[in-house]
Amino acid sequence: MSVIATVAITAFVVSPSAHSEGFLDKLFGGKKEEQKGPPPEVTLQAPFPTTPDANTGNSQNKLMGIYGSNGAVVEDANNLSKPHRSEKQIIEWATEIVSQAMTINVKTYENDFKKISPSFTPYALQEYQDYLQKTNMVAILSSNSLRLQAVSSEEGTVIKDGAISDTYHWLVQIPLMTSFYNMDMETVDKSVTTQSQSLLVQIQIGRVAPKSNNDVGLVVERWSVSSNAKR
């Protein structure tokens, strides 16, 4: 029996009913739990919806409205109540941040955490840390000599966007495929059988004043993870 299979059987034997729940459901969460946080008037929606709003419409037109035919910004990019990136750029940025946050190697975790922290508000960073603590992620990976690799499995989606309190925000869903690998395996070998789970990470992104010319002027304001099992 493989190490991962052994983990799947033994990691969460905590109650008589535990056998009815899969290892990955316990680790990642089978369904989204109610979240507490900033009230709706200061977020796009709190708690996050589990599915896109059918009436949201295509936000691409609104986002692309500040871009000329050559991609140049034609409005004041310093106005934080306006979008300064296209929908595609928002999704690309969100995908990169989410993939980095959900790729966890215990050996480099502290440095990796420091690298992603500036891209989160204190509240969102606490939500991310609470998720790791609730799932006991780092301890499980460490005790079983595993690392978690996350890659985008599908293109993300902006499900809601708009200005709130003079700041523009985007609510974005990013589908991820997360897989467990031996900690000593430096490169992903597709021929190796792994235990994997499809996740849906939902984050709220907000505009902030850029600190430098290379700063994209974006920050993660909310963080939520749920199972993305096909029903």
Please give the chain's pLDDT, 231 residues, in tens. Answer: 344 433 332 232 223 333 333 434 444 444 444 445 554 445 555 444 434 344 433 433 433 334 444 444 435 578 999 999 999 999 999 999 999 999 999 999 999 999 999 999 999 999 999 999 999 999 999 999 999 999 998 999 999 999 999 999 999 999 999 999 998 776 655 555 568 899 999 999 999 999 887 889 999 999 999 988 764
The tokens describing 195, both together, are 């235990």
Residue 109 token pair: 């975790």
Q: Which amino acid, residue 227?
A: S
Beta bridge partners of 104: 148
Contacts of 1 (CB under 8 A, 6+ apart): none
What's the CATH class of domain 3-11+20-27+37-227? alpha beta
**pLDDT reported for residue 2:** 42
Q: In what helix (H) or strand (E) does residue 88 lie, and over which residues does it extend?
A: helix 87-102
Q: Position 99: which residue type? A: S
Cis ω on the peptide bond leading into residue 52 (within 30° of 0)?
A: no
- Boundaries of every domain in the chain: 3-11+20-27+37-227
- Any idea how long the chain is? 231
Residue 30 DSSP label = S
- The pLDDT of residue 192 is 57
Specify the pLDDT at position 195.
84
Bridge partners, residue 207, by sequence: 218
DSSP state of 20: G
**Beta-bridge mates of residue 200:** 175, 226
Other CB atoms within a 10 A radius of the CB of residue 227 amount to: 17
Q: Find the angle CA(154)-CA(28)-CA(123) to the nearest 5 degrees.
A: 90
HEC-encoded secondary structure of the chain: CCHHHHHHHHCCCCCCCHHHCCHHHHHHCCCCCCCCCCCHHHCCCCCCCCCCCCCCCCCHHHHHCCECCCCCECCCCCCCCCCCCCHHHHHHHHHHHHHHHHCECHHHHHHHHHHHHHHECHHHHHHHHHHHHHHCHHHHHHHCCEEEEEEECCCCEEEEEEEECCEEEEEEEEEEEEEEEECCCCCCCCCCCCCEEEEEEEEEEEECCCCCCCCCCEEEEEEEEEECCCC
Report residue 97 as tokens: 């941040």
Which pLDDT score is estimated for 146? Answer: 94
Q: What is the pTM of this model?
A: 0.69
